Amino acid sequence: MKQRQSGVLMHISSLPGKYGIGSFGQSAYDFVDFLVRTKQRYWQILPLGTTSYGDSPYQSFSAFAGNTHFIDFDLLIQEGLLEEADFEGVDFGQNPEAVDYEKLFYNRRPLLEKAVANFMAKGYNPEYQQFLVDSASWLDTFAEYMAIKEHFGQKSWLDWPDDAAKVREPRALAEYRENLAPAVNYHRVTQYFFFKQWLALKSYANENHIEIVGDMPIYVAADSSEMWSQPRYFKTDEAGRPSWIAGVPPDAFTAEGQLWGNPIYDWDAMKADNYSWWIKRLQESFKVYDVVRIDHFRGFESYWEVPAGAENAIGGRWVKGPDYDLFKTVKEELGDLNIIAEDLGYMTQEVYDFREKTGFPGMKILEFAFDPHGDSQDMPHYAKNNSVMYTGTHDNDTVVGWYENEADEETRRFMELYTNKREDESVPAAMLRTVYSSVSFMAIATMQDLLGLGSQARMNTPSTLGQNWVWRMTETQLNQEVEDLLTYLTVTYRRSNENLSN
């Protein structure tokens, strides 16, 4: 029986601040303090990787590199790498409740370039040199990829006009390294900034008995340094392009399924290499997180692959994955790991058996529980101790949005009956109370539901582009009432972090 604990789900991008997007600066430290005061154990975030077209943290240019949008400018000012005057007239976006990614893309880069130049002007830095050594397995490849990608107008390697660069011909790569040396160096140094700031924040959280739950997408993007540099690990055609792409089949929510576009792994090639790529990926992930939630976990048992070029996911097929063999090897190499299996979507008995064999906790989503005529396995009375209970995830509407826009009248009445909602109790409070009172060892509250926000605060609507991943919390929203609610739920349902003083 695992100890009862709890935490809050809010991505770094959603933190308040003056530079257009949440960062690793003071507001992040303030949020850790909030978690401490409310006796939480976990801060869950979305993937920290670089984002591309569509701004999704689940489509990254690298499985290892960090999103430089999260580098905090105030910390760079404190290091003498930037000055307050550098920010005069810079527009990071006018809406404190939403991220303007276009403005960030264009307006942060010159500032970071100046910080990099000032950093290099300071001369030899042993900490930076050690970072280069520790990150050698991925950093140079990523920096070279990004430099060449920018050289060709931000195009994916699949569309580069230089075939020699596409296939990493050594002479061509040597020329690009020389000709694009400033850009390559920029990406190395900004990754150093990212990891230095993030690991300092994580250390502060850990010192205060707060653990970070990170999120690992199962797939990488086609437009990524991994696909470019290690095509042998993916299903490709003769030209090296993805021959099959990832998605999920049609269901009650999407008539055409979801077409994600990620390349499909060649699991036979990975097995022949003793899954070394996955072992390295998990090793690096546990340097930056304490717990790792693996997205689309069922894809390891079997996955839906769609022919490249398809317009939707209808014409795909189920293919067996590595199943337990992968995690058996991982355990032999790395020992027991704190992993959460995102086991949502189309589930079969084989997937349940696979998850049970790993011993990893699965997920329960309360918004999925209230079918008045069904018997949803997400109902709390079906939960096991070895599970994580949420009101919803980043892919769900907020509780208020779900209640007002998705649930019909019969579903709403059933939810109120099941949760024993009081007349003076808000819908989010009743749902959160049900989550925290469940038998699941870990209860996670989304920040939007703690704040009682509607659909305008939804993080992502699957299969859509535009206006996703933009929600931000304002500095005044995290008030005493919110803090009291979370503390009450945590203490009442015996999830208080016992390492903290009362």
Task: Return the HEC string of 136-186.
Answer: CCCHHHHHHHHHHHHHCCCCCHHHCCCHHHHCCCHHHHHHHHHHCHHHHHH
CA–CA separation, 1 vs 386, rounded Å?
8
User: Which residue bears the tokens 């509407």?
Assistant: 397
Question: Could you tell me which of 493, 488, 481 has the C-alpha nearest to residue 442?
Answer: 493
Q: How far is CA 456 from CA 18, 98, 223, 262, 402, in A?
A: 21, 10, 30, 28, 12
Cβ atoms of residues 354 and 419 within 8 Å: no
Which phi and psi angles does 263 have, rounded to 5°?
A: -65, 150
Give me the long-range contacts of 459-466 (CB less than 8 A, separation at least 24).
459/11, 459/14, 459/46, 459/394, 459/395, 460/56, 460/394, 460/395, 461/395, 462/253, 462/254, 462/258, 462/395, 463/254, 463/258, 463/259, 465/54
DSSP code of residue 57: T
Which phi and psi angles does 392 have, rounded to 5°?
A: -165, 180
Q: How far is CA 485 from CA 71, 365, 445, 480, in A?
A: 31, 20, 11, 9
Say how many C-beta atoms besides its own lie within 10 A of residue 249's C-beta.
18
Residues 129, 130, 134, CA angle at the centre, nearest 5°?
125
295 is catalytic: yes
Burial 38-67 (b: 16+ CB within 10 A, else e): bbbbbbbbbbbbbbbeebbbbbbbbbbbbb
User: Which one of 295, 301, 305, 378 is the catalytic residue?
Assistant: 295
| Helical segments of 180-275, H only | 181-207, 225-229, 267-272
User: Which one of 74, 175, 273, 395 is the catalytic residue?
Assistant: 395
Cβ atoms of residues 437 and 490 within 8 Å: no
One-letter identity of residue 391: T
Dihedral angle at the C-alpha atoms of 446, 447, 451, 454, nearest 10 degrees? -60
Cβ atoms of residues 376 and 369 within 8 Å: yes
395 is catalytic: yes
175 is catalytic: no
User: Which one of 72, 144, 211, 342 is the catalytic residue?
Assistant: 342
Burial 83-95 (b: 16+ CB within 10 A, else e): eeebeeeeebbee
Question: Could you tell me which of 35, 56, 53 has the C-alpha nearest to residue 44?
Answer: 35
Q: Which two tokens stand for residue 376?
A: 């949803």
Question: Could you tell me which of 414, 434, 457 has the C-alpha nearest to residue 14?
Answer: 457
The catalytic residue positions are 295, 342, 395
